[in-house]
A and B are shown apart, each in its own frame.
Chain A
Amino acid sequence: MAKGRVSIVVERCKACGFCVEFCPTHVLALSSAFNSKGYHPPHVVHPEKCSGCDLCGMYCPDFAIYGTKAAEAKAQKASGGEK
C-alpha cells in the first residue's frame, strides 16, 4: 500500500516537466495523452513509490498536481472532504 497518492488536474497542466523531474521517487512521467490545450499531462507510472510528500504540488506552477499522504486522504474523506 503506497504511503501517498497523486492527484492531477489534467486541464490545468502545461507539461513543464517540473513534477516529473523533481519527484524524489520518480513516480511520474509525461503521458502520451493530450489535454484540451494540447499538452501532455503527467501520469503515475509507479504509484507504489509515492510517499505523499507533495513536492510535485509544491513545484507545479499551474496548481495542476498535488500529493496527499494516505492517512491524510482518509482523514479528508472522513471529514467529508473539502471542494
Chain B
Amino acid sequence: MLNVLTDDTVNPVEPFLRTDRMPHIWCPGCGIGTTVNSFARALIESKIDLESLALVSGIGCTGRVAGYVKLDSFHTTHGRAIPFATGLKLANPKLNVVVYSGDGDLSAIGGNHLIHAARRNIDLKVICVNNLIYAMTGGQTAPTTPGHATTSTNPYGTFEPAFNLPHLVEAAGAVYVARWTTFHVRQLSRSISEAFQKKGFSFIEVISPCPTLYQRRNKMGDGLDTMKYYKEKSKVKNGAPTSEVGLTLNGEIAVGKFVDRDRPDFQSMMRAQYVEALGERYIDEPAAECCCEEC
C-alpha cells in the first residue's frame, strides 16, 4: 500500500524550502539534505525570527544549500562565505548570520578566513558539512580527507595528514565547537539551537556521506552503509579535548559538544574599545542606517 502525500499535513521543513526549486541536485544518499532538516528543526525550536536570518554559503555541494532555503541567502565565491558574512553582520548587527558551507570551501581556500573569524570571535554560526572530499568538482583530495584514501588527485592514495577541524577552530578562538554526523539528526539540531543562543564564533562540523565519490572510490558502500558506519563507529565524547578527535579512514568518529565557552564577541569588544577611547564622541550606529531615501 503506497501512502501518497495527503492534503491535510505538511512537512515541517517545507516552509523553509524554495519548493519551486525542488528536487535538488544532491545525489541519492548524500547527507546534505539531512543536515538541512536538522537546521530547519533548529530554526523552529529556537523560534528564530526568519526575517532577520541571513544564510551565506560558498561553492561546492554544500554551498548549494543557500539556493534551496527560503531565507535571505547569499551564494558567494569559493572560500569567502565567512568574510562576506562578516560584512553583513557588521553592517547590520541585528542580523543572525549563518554560514553553511563544505569542508573544502571552509578549510582549504577559506582557511585563512576561518581562523581569523574565529580569532576575532565574529558572531557567526558556521555549519561545516564535512564529506571529506571536494565533491562538486569530482572527488579531489580535501584538507580533511583522511590518509590512505583514494581520490581523483591522489589516485594512489592520500598521504597527507588531515585537518582536525574542531582542534583548528578551537585553537583559533571559537567559543562553540561541536561535531556530529548525519546519523545524529536530533543532536545536530540541538547543537545548532545552542549555537543560536551563543554570541560569538560557533562551529558545527557534520560528517556526511558522499556516496558518489568519496565512498564509492574507497569501496565503502553507499549512503546507507555510511550512515550505518556512523551509527556503529561514532562515540559521543562531550567535552573531549579537541586534539584527540581527529578522524581516520574507517576509524572511530568522536562526536559531541567539545567546546562551549564564553568570551566577548567582536562587536562587543569593538564597542567597548571605542567607548573607552572616545566616550560620548563615539557614534554607535551600524553602517546600514539609511542609505536609501526613505527608511
Which residues of A are in contact with B by a Cβ distance under 8 Å? 5-12, 14-18, 21-22, 31, 33, 39, 41, 43-44, 47, 54-55, 57-63, 66, 68, 72-73, 76-77, 81-83
Contact B9 A68 (CB under 8 A): yes
Contact A9 B5 (CB under 8 A): yes
Contact sample, A vs B, 9 pairs, CB 8 Å cutoff: A14-B29, A16-B29, A16-B223, A16-B224, A18-B227, A44-B3, A60-B37, A62-B26, A81-B7
Task: Give the secondary structure class of A's interface.
Answer: mixed
CB-CB under 8 A from B228, the residues of chain A are 21
> Can you name the residue of chain B whose Cβ is closest to the Cβ of A16?
B29
CB-CB under 8 A from A16, the residues of chain B are 28-29, 222-224
**Please, how many residues of chain B have a CB less than 8 angstroms from a CB on the other chain?**
42
> Can you name the residue of chain B whose Cβ is closest to the Cβ of A8?
B3
CB-CB under 8 A from A9, the residues of chain B are 5, 11
Contact A57 B22 (CB under 8 A): no
Task: Give the secondary structure class of B's interface.
Answer: loop
> Can you name the residue of chain A whose Cβ is closest to the Cβ of B24?
A62
Contact A63 B17 (CB under 8 A): yes
Q: Can you add 15 more A-B contacts, CB < 8 Å, to A16-B224, A61-B30?
A: A7-B3, A8-B3, A10-B2, A11-B23, A18-B223, A18-B227, A55-B185, A57-B37, A58-B41, A62-B24, A62-B33, A63-B13, A66-B13, A72-B9, A81-B8
In the assembled complex, the Cα of A15 lies from the Cα of B34 at a distance in Å of 14
Which residues of B are in contact with A by a Cβ distance under 8 Å? 1-15, 17, 22-24, 26-34, 36-38, 41, 182-183, 185-186, 189, 222-224, 227-228
> Can you name the residue of chain B whose Cβ is closest to the Cβ of A15?
B28
Contact B28 A14 (CB under 8 A): yes
In the assembled complex, the Cα of A14 lies from the Cα of B224 at a distance in Å of 12
> Can you name the residue of chain B whose Cβ is closest to the Cβ of A83?
B10
CB-CB under 8 A from A68, the residues of chain B are 9
